[in-house]
Structure 1
Amino acid sequence: MKKIRKENTEHKSRGAVAVEFALVAPILLAVVVGIVEFANAYNAQISVTQAAREAARTMAVKNSQTDAKAAAVAGAPGLSGPFSYTFSPTACTPDTTMKVTITYSAPTMTGLFGSSVGLTGVGAMRCGG
């Protein structure tokens, strides 16, 4: 009789473990997916900021928006799709600060938290210096 009780106890504990796993697994999976999505968005944010810095630098040196846009695209090779640019001021004059703001809509990896995330990068550089 003692063997039967021991086996019943083992069956009950195995069932409890399965139920606990079923309750915890979705939460754990959501946390892991959230970490992956955050890392992807953070990587894209760093690339957008680098693109804005490259555009501001090129604008400060060459004073050409076309060259600055090309430098921004080259400065963020991991991103695809169009950037939206804002140049302030529109042209460099000596001893002013060129500020370039780039906005980008980055797609998410899983789509669980939305299909895209809007990112903004800002770069500034002193003109003629």
Structure 2
Amino acid sequence: MSRSPSSMEDSSRGAIAVEFALVAPVLLLLVAGIIEFSNIFNAQVSVTQAAREAARNMAIHNNQGTATTAARVGAPGLDTSSFALAFSPTACAPNTNIKVTISYTAPGITGVFGTGFGVTGVGAMRCGG
């Protein structure tokens, strides 16, 4: 018994729907992963830039308050109120290096892989110019 062309077409449409149902979740997960990775990478770059700005300001002015402000201004797209700054050493002596470490929890966008991701930025600068 041979099939009519319309029944073969219906059968092929059903197969396409099943294949799409199997592949779609994997593709959506891949897209969500790309979105999360790009968000975290952007946060990492911003936190590192903020740490560099804080180290530069500390090396010039030797004031943790102005260095903290410079770090917050240096990362405009982030919630800088949750920055955790660490200065090593705590004061800048001539011809030594100051190192500023900033820890930050970047919020997730999609929520598929978690709600927050920890990123750390480090900046170092020679004190006294």
CA distance in 2, matches of 1:64, 1:123: 16
Instruction: Name 2:84's counterpart in structure 1.
Output: 84
CA distance in 2, matches of 1:22, 1:121: 42
Q: Given the alignment of the two structures, is residue 31 of structure 1 paired with residue 30 of structure 2, yes or no?
A: yes
Letter of the structure 1 residue corresponding to residue 22 of structure 2: L
- Give the structure-1-normalised TM-score: 0.96
CA distance in 1, matches of 2:58, 2:77: 22
Stretches of structure 2 lacking an aligned partner (at least 5 in a row): none
CA distance in 2, matches of 1:116, 1:99: 25
TM superposition shift of 1:82: 1.4
- Equivalent residue of 1:117, what SS? strand
Instruction: Name 1:8's counterpart in structure 2.
Output: 7
Stretches of structure 1 lacking an aligned partner (at least 5 in a row): none
Q: Given the alignment of the two structures, is residue 52 of structure 1 paired with residue 51 of structure 2, yes or no?
A: yes
TM superposition shift of 1:8: 1.4
CA distance in 2, matches of 1:107, 1:122: 20
CA distance in 2, matches of 1:12, 1:125: 68
CA distance in 2, matches of 1:5, 1:128: 87
- Give the structure-2-normalised TM-score: 0.96
TM superposition shift of 1:112: 1.0
Runs of 4 or more, structure 1, over 2 Å off, are none
CA distance in 2, matches of 1:126, 1:86: 16
Q: CA RMSD in A?
A: 1.2
Counting matched residue pairs gives 128
Question: Percent identity over the alignment?
Answer: 62
